[in-house]
Copies of this chain bind each other. A is one copy, B any other.
Amino acid sequence: MRLLSGTSWDGVVEQPFMLDEIPGVLWTPEGGLGPRPLILMGHGGGEDKRAPGIVARARRFAAEGGFAVAAVDVPYHGERPTDGEFDRLASEYRARVAAGADTAALDTALYTLVVGPTVAEWQAVVTAVQRLDRVGGGPVGYWGVSLGCALGMAFVAAEPRVRAAVLGLQGAPVLAGAAAHVTVPVQFLVQWDDELMPRAQSLALFDALGSAEKTLHAHPGGHGDLPRFEMDDSLRFFSRHLG
């Protein structure tokens, strides 16, 4: 892993890195030298590692929770090379969203193109980041919604270092199998009027989670309308399970 030139602002060190061809960012509390729990964050479709919803949460998790937080660009997103097939599906997806048409099949197709490499990459990222003195080999949490939930479901199911996960804004039936293999505590977020995910499918995916401790948090509003106070809940959830 190659650490690039970092910046420090408002109590948080933001450190870009490259792991092979994977560009990422690591956030840690300023002055934090010893080991600490790590939260890996997965961005949404069409977003990247510096999406506003990622950065805002990462900074709070680091500043207020004392966590290390890492996010990387998913294949074909952010600074990574594009792919003809992926771009064709993504354009079609955006056109269908704009037209208010059903996007479930495309959502699953896009997920299927990236899930395999993503799980392996994220496992390598955890291993590499935990070699840093200011991170260390403590417990790992995962936060990801929408595409970040779809990919996260496979990652959390496969990766025993993960001890707790915030997931949601997702109900693709293709994820039910992975969900059944998730056994760690989960907070699962549902937007009650989500225009991209049918409510019944989201509830069914919550149902499918194998975890003994799982909590569904639902709020009114659309796919992009997660309330700010839900960020507080994520922070406390990780503090309870990783602290």
Least CB separation from A188: chain B residue: B218
User: Which stretch in A19-27, A28-36, A58-66, A227-235 binds the other chain?
Assistant: A227-235
User: Which stretch in A135-143, A158-166, A208-216 binds the other chain?
Assistant: A208-216
Say whether A88 faces chain B, with CB atoms less than 8 Å apart. no
Say whether A122 faces chain B, with CB atoms less than 8 Å apart. no
Q: Which residues of B contact A219 (CB under 8 A)?
A: 213-216
Q: Which residues of B contact A236 (CB under 8 A)?
A: 232, 236
Say whether A96 faces chain B, with CB atoms less than 8 Å apart. no
Say whether A220 faces chain B, with CB atoms less than 8 Å apart. yes
Contact status B214-A216, CB under 8 Å = no
Q: Which residues of B contact A218 (CB under 8 A)?
A: 206, 215-216, 218
Q: Which residues of B contact A212 (CB under 8 A)?
A: 220
The 9 closest A-B pairs by CB, nearest first: A216-B218, A215-B219, A217-B217, A215-B217, A214-B220, A229-B240, A215-B218, A216-B216, A216-B217
Pull 17 A–B residue pairs with CB atoms less than 8 Å apart, ordered by A: A190-B216, A206-B218, A213-B219, A213-B220, A214-B219, A214-B220, A215-B218, A215-B219, A215-B227, A216-B216, A216-B217, A216-B219, A217-B217, A229-B240, A232-B236, A233-B233, A236-B236
Binding site for B on A (CB under 8 A): 190, 192, 203, 206-207, 212-220, 227, 229, 232-233, 236, 240
